[in-house]
Structure 1
Amino acid sequence: MKVKTSLHRTATVLAGALIGLAGLTVAATPASAHASSVKGDSVCNAATGKRDITWTLTNDWGGDATVSDLALIPGVKAETAEHNELKNGVVIPRRSHHVDGKAVFTQSAEGDITDASISFTAHWDDEYSDRNNSYKLRFDGPCAPPPPTCVSPDKAKFHHEFGVENGKSTATVTLDEGIKLCEGEPVTLVSYVAPRPEFSVPQFVFDHASAVITTDKPRADLEVKVPDCNTQVDLFFGSEKDIIAEITANGPRYGDKKLGSPNGIGSRSVGKPGWFNGGSKACQQPAVATVPQCDGTLTVNLSNNGEISRYPIDFAVKTGDVTKTVTVGAGKAESITIPAGSGDVTIGAEGLETKTYQWQNPGDCALPTVVVENDCDTVAITVQNPKGVTPVTAKITYGEETKTATVASGASRKTTFTLGKEKHATVEFPGLDVESIKATLGKVDCGGEGGGGGLPVTGAAAGSIAGGAAALLAIGGGLFFLARRRKVTFTA
């Protein structure tokens, strides 16, 4: 009986001890279960070039927790999908069914930040607080913005072909494959007339063509005419408004705008150098026209007005041993007069074949007149030469006798012969391109025979003309008018 009683007492004491320990455990549990935490994560948003940061706040207690003492770096607003802003007073939901309560907030920060952090205190309704809530993110480098879908022309790449031959220049400029342009890139091909086959000034535009390269039209084909003389041709990035109309000594240049340049915007295009200098002759177009005058002078017209004439021309005009230089400006003309009797004149210029010119009777000058007078003893032939013409030489034949008479301008000269049996006289003008005159003598009263003076006769038709003109003569003579003809020489 005593043994059983001792065992019973021992069991009772142990049971009480276990119950006491269990009571201590239950009493300590509420204090250790209040807890909160926070975690952060970040990704680089390739679409915006910014960092998208996510903050996850966790509550593992059965009551809601309220946020206070919030510190958020960077200070960019963070919010949930429902646009609840992360700030002091925001609630972290309670834990339920062994699942921690969570509040998730996101913020978008500039891509160049180096770190982000958060800290706060969580409060529960039972006056318990958890101040041990913080998290920091560090970033290795900036979040770069996405590459653009197109590039500006200054960042684009091209390739080209360029050449000059057969009186023209052609060029093809192509945007490199895979490149999209945000805006069009103009390109221009232009040719010039130049004073020398190497680079020299001034130069003047001869022809030009422009086009705009775009993503939809990635290739430009250009063609211009090239002058048949000294020239320069340039292929450059730019539009028609960028063309230099006249390249002068101190004026603007295309410089590194030319495609194929080693530097500058022209270096964006790969290909042979997009420029050319050459030619085999001057771009002037000199011309000479001579007009002989009736007084023996020679008018020489010098011109410099061809399609490609852009520079002055020095004409060398030589008469005898004297050479004179006559300068004619572009688009101009000059006239000089070679005096009568100066002889041949020789004219030459750059781009013009040297040539010798002679005065020739133009054929439309006033012609000399002839008056025939005869009586019973003599035959008189008078040659009258008009004013404003060259001296004329007359070859007069009557019977077996021939005499020569030279008559100055505006003068007259009489030649006499002894009357013979011949009834006509012949007058020739070797220096004039006219037919000789056969003049029939007039009838005179020498011992009873009546008669008149000489009759006018022209060329071979002397016999038929004489009868019709007899009534018009006031004296025994006649006027002889010679045929005329004009000759003009032009050399270009």
Structure 2
Amino acid sequence: MKLNSPLRRAATVLAGALIGLGGAAVVTSPAAAHDSTVRGEAICDTATGTRIVTWTLTNDWPADATVTDLKTTPTDVEKAGEGNFVIPGKTGGRNGELVLTQKVTGGDAKEATISFASLWSTDGFTDGKNSARVDLSKPCAPAETPCVEAGQAGFHHTFGVTGNGSTATVTLNDGVKLCEGEPVTLVSYFAPKPQFAVPQYEYDHDSGTIDNEHRSVTLNVDVPDCNTQVDLFFGGEDDIISEITENGSRYGDKKLGSKNGLGGRSKGPQGWYNGGTKGCQTPAVEPLSQCDGTVTLNLSNNGKISKYAIDFTVKAGEFSKTVTVAPGKGETVTVPAGAGTITVSAEGMENVTYDWAAPEDCALPTVIVENDCDTVAITVENPEGVTPATAKITYGDKTETVTVAAGKSEKVTFKAGKATYATVEFPGLDVEPIKATLEKLDCENGGGGGTGGGDKDEPSLPVTGPVAGGIAGGAALLLIAGGVLFVIARRRKITFTA
């Protein structure tokens, strides 16, 4: 059957229109579905006072879209891994969303913003009109943490002693807020022994206070170069025990690292130390020899670290004595003459040994020589305040030895011979022997000077005649005078000093 021409033409036009509309739909529908959006949301982290902004980017097209030209304020978003951000396509069970996180601290920022473009690599389509903002004007502050009363807070610490110093660090535990500051002190002491013993005397201290602004303190003290104790305890300068005595106060469980009590709140090593290698005394001995043979020992205990009494023991032969010298003081011990080698001992000191030696300024013995035609007399005099002197006296081939006490004298007599001198030695004294020269006498002429003429071996003839009487009178006077001179001439005295 054939249609009439008008109807046929109308049908042809309608079919062409439908085909054109269908083709247009196929071409334009993908472009209309390329779309990306973004929305934001902010929450406040009350634990830290940080606002966390979450940005959700969406992709309505089945193919993945790469994010480009990403900009955020006031901070960058967190990025996991390397490479660009990609919004997954909405297909195959994927939701077509990419979530980015932005953290904003502080209260200055009033808003957060984001802007970006999306690129679909499958067809090169770009959507560059994506942006959003989130209001941050509401305050965001950490929640108020209740404070902890004194004695309830937790701490941790370090403690050590090295060389001549000690260091400790005490720190408040995280998350703890103190209602008031907590003082802590490190103190060192002189000690009588390397183990715990009393009395102890404060040497150095350092105190600090832990509070919410200063959550950690480091303390340092010097340690004495002798036996010591060091303590780390909860308390301030007013709580320091300056002298630890037998029945006095103790820090007890206030020491950090204790099992219980205030000190048990801090975790760490024991906050106390006892040790040392020598006593806190300075014993010293000064021996001085005396001229009388005694030895004076000056015992002292006045050094920089002398905090305890010292017992000095002095021994010499049968002599023995123990003397206690208080700190900062001195004592004197006299060892009798002739006691022998002296030994002084004390804790913290090597033994001191000493032998008496004659001082250089002691008075020396004197020697007096008297001789006449019959005898030679040697007298040794020893002064007061000196040791007994032993004198070895030699005249000719004869030798005598005498000991002369202090303030005394001893006399030795020899028969006169041809020797013209005597020698006196002092074996116990550091002096040269004395050579004592005798007075020269004319003993063959009665101790005088000669016969008045002629040969001395030939006596003069007596004088006779008228003048004999006058001569005899003069001779009588001369005889008397000569007798006096003879007595004087027979006893000549010379003194020598050793």
Scaled to the shorter chain, the TM-score interval is 0.5 to 0.7
Q: Which residue pairs with 2:296 in the alignment?
A: 299
CA contact (8 A) 2:189 2:230 kept: yes
Alpha-carbon deviation of 1:244? Answer: 0.5
Uncovered stretches (5+) of structure 2, i.e. residues with no partner: 1-45, 47-142, 451-490
User: Which 10-residue stretch deviates more, 385-394 or 330-339?
Assistant: 330-339
Deviations 1:121-176 (A, max 9, x none): xxxxxxxxxxxxxxxxxxxxxxxxx7457655544443221111223222222344
* Residue 347 of structure 2: aligned partner: 350
Where does residue 332 of structure 1 map in the other structure? 329
Unaligned runs of 5+ in 1: 1-45, 47-145, 451-473, 483-492
Q: Deviation of residue 386 (structure 1)? A: 0.6
Question: For 2:494, what is the secondary structure of its paired residue?
Answer: coil
1:227 corresponds to which of 216, 224, 227: 224
Deviation, structure 1 residue 301: 2.8
Counterpart in the other structure of 1:17: none
CA distance in 1, matches of 2:354, 2:431: 23
Q: Could you tell me whether the CA contact under 8 Å between 2:285 and 2:352 is conserved in 1?
A: no
Letter in 1 for 2:407: G
Partner Cα separation in structure 2 for residue 353 and residue 175 of structure 1: 50
TM-score by length of 1: 0.57
Is the 1:365–1:389 Cα contact (8 Å) retained in structure 2?
yes
1:23 is aligned to: none
Q: Give the Å deviation of 1:178.
A: 5.3
Deviation at 1:241, TM superposition (A): 2.4
Q: Does 1:478 align with 2:478?
A: no
Give SS of 1:333's match.
strand
Counterpart position of 1:262: 259
- Structure 1 residue 359 corresponds to structure 2 residue 356: yes
Shift of 1:411: 0.5
**Structure 1 residues 150 and 436, CA gap change in structure 2 (3 angstroms):** farther
> Equivalences for 1:307-318 in 2 at 5 Å?
307-318=304-315
Match of 2:202 in 1: 205
Task: Name the amino acid aligned to 1:417.
Answer: F
Report SS of the residue matched to 1:395. strand
In 1, are the aligned partners of 2:183 and 2:207 still within 8 Å (CA)? yes
Q: Distance in 2 between matches of 1:173 and 1:196?
A: 28
Give 1:343 shift.
2.7
| Structure 1 segment 398-437 matched on structure 2, within 5 A | 398-437=395-434
How far apart in 2 are the matches of 1:226 and 1:404?
64
With 234-243 and 406-415 compared, the bigger mean Cα shift is at: 234-243
Distance 1:223 1:397, change over 3 A: farther
Q: Is the 8 A contact 2:153 2:178 kept in 1?
A: yes
RMSD (CA atoms) = 2.9
2:493 match: secondary structure: coil
Task: Output the TM-score relative to the length of structure 2.
Answer: 0.57
> Secondary structure at the residue paired with 1:478?
strand
* Larger mean Cα displacement after TM superposition, 430-439 or 318-327: 318-327
- Counterpart CA distance in 2 for 1:219 and 1:435 is 80
Match for residue 191 of structure 2? 194
Note if contact 1:379-1:418 (Cα within 8 Å) is conserved in structure 2.
Answer: yes
Equivalent residues of 1:318, 1:345 under 8 A apart: yes
What is the alpha-carbon distance in structure 2 between the residues aligned to residue 386 and residue 303 of structure 1? Answer: 33
Alpha carbons 1:195, 1:202 under 8 Å: kept:
yes
- 1:3-18 equivalence runs, <5 A: none
2:168 and 2:202 map into 1 onto residues whose CA distance is: 17
Give distance in 1, aligned partners of 2:272 and 2:149.
25
- 1:363·1:433 contact (CA, 8 Å) conserved in 2? no
**1:53 alignment partner in structure 2:** none
Deviation at 1:261, TM superposition (A): 1.8
| 1:282 CA drift (Å) | 3.1
Report the CA distance shift for 1:149/1:475 in structure 2 as closer, same or farther (over 3 A). farther
Q: Determine the C-alpha separation between the residues in 2 that align with 1:291 and 1:245.
A: 39
Mapped to 1, the partners of 2:254 and 2:403 lie a distance apart of: 76
For residues 336 and 394 of structure 1, the distance between their equivalents in structure 2, rounded to whole angstroms, comes to 31
Which residue in 1 is equivalent to 2:249?
252
Worse overlay, 177-186 or 355-364: 177-186
**What's the CA shift string for 1:362-419, capped at 9, x where partnerless?**
2322211112222233332211101111100112233333322211110111223344
Between the aligned partners of 2:315 and 2:192, the Cα distance in structure 1 is 26
Q: 1:367 to 1:266 in 2, by over 3 A?
A: same
Cα distance between partner residues in 2 of 1:384 and 1:193: 58
Q: 1:444 to 1:175 in 2, by over 3 A?
A: farther
How many residue pairs match? The answer is 314
Partner Cα distance (1:230, 1:289) in 2: 26
Q: Structure 2 matches for 1:83-162, cutoff 5 A?
A: 147-148=144-145, 154-162=151-159
Other structure's SS at 2:202 match: strand
CA distance in 2 between partners of 1:170 and 1:475 (Å): 88
Q: Which amino acid in the other structure matches residue 404 of structure 1? A: T
Query: Would the alpha carbon gap of residues 423 and 322 (structure 1) be closer, same or farther in structure 2, given more than 3 Å must change?
Result: closer
Q: What corresponds to 1:379 in structure 2?
A: 376
